[in-house]
């Protein structure tokens, strides 16, 4: 049984990602419910972490890995999607890839495991709860 999360920090961000991936109804709907329950400040913190981890993955070696996984090249938008996918794979896969992009050879198939809504989940929850933009 997972501990209830009351505050978003580095550990709980990754815990939510792991729990969302396991949710049978799909990660997006479940994660949105969790963020709505946590309230606007925590939704904004989740948004901050999602963007920070995606930005940290903006590395040359990972762009090469994305090009291989995209099967023929990677555009700027494609690399943004790839970085979102990488964060959505969870802390272990993410950290290993930052250290060595070749570690992604054993990662789930990129084409089948996208989590496109991840970079906007915190922002959407915050806006729904407050009626204001996170920015």
- Torsion angle (degrees, nearest 10) of CA 100, 26, 120, 57: 0
Confidence of residue 63 (pLDDT cuts 50, 70, 90): very high
Residue-wise pLDDT for 81-105, tens only, equals 899 989 989 999 999 999 999 999 8
Q: Does 117 fall in a domain?
A: yes
Q: Does 1 fall in a domain?
A: no
More confidently predicted of 4 and 84: 84
Confidence of residue 117 (pLDDT cuts 50, 70, 90): confident
**What is the per-residue DSSP string for 87-103?**
HHT-HHHHHHHHH-GGG
Q: Does 108 fall in a domain?
A: yes
**What is the per-residue DSSP string for 60-91?**
HHHHHHHHHHTTS---HHHHHHHHHHHHHT-H
Q: Does 5 fall in a domain?
A: no
**Residue 67 lies in domain:** 10-130
> Residue 28 in 3-state DSSP?
helix
Give the number of domains in the chain: 1
pTM: 0.88
Q: Averaged over 71-79, what is the pLDDT?
A: 83
């Amino acid at each position: 049984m997972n501990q209830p999360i009351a505050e978003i920090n580095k550990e709980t961000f990754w815990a939510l990602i792991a729990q969302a991936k396991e949710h049978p109804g799909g990660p997006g709907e479940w994660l949105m419910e969790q963020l709505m329950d946590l309230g606007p400040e925590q939704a904004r913190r989740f948004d901050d972490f999602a963007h920070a981890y995606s930005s940290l993955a903006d590395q040359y070696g990972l762009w090469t890995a994305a090009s291989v996984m995209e099967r023929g090249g990677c555009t700027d938008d494609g690399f943004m999607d790839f970085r979102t996918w990488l964060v959505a794979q969870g802390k272990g896969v993410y950290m290993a890839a930052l250290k060595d992009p070749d570690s992604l050879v054993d990662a789930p198939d990129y084409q089948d495991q996208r989590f496109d809504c991840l970079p906007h989940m915190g922002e959407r929850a915050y806006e729904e709860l407050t009626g204001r933009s996170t920015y």
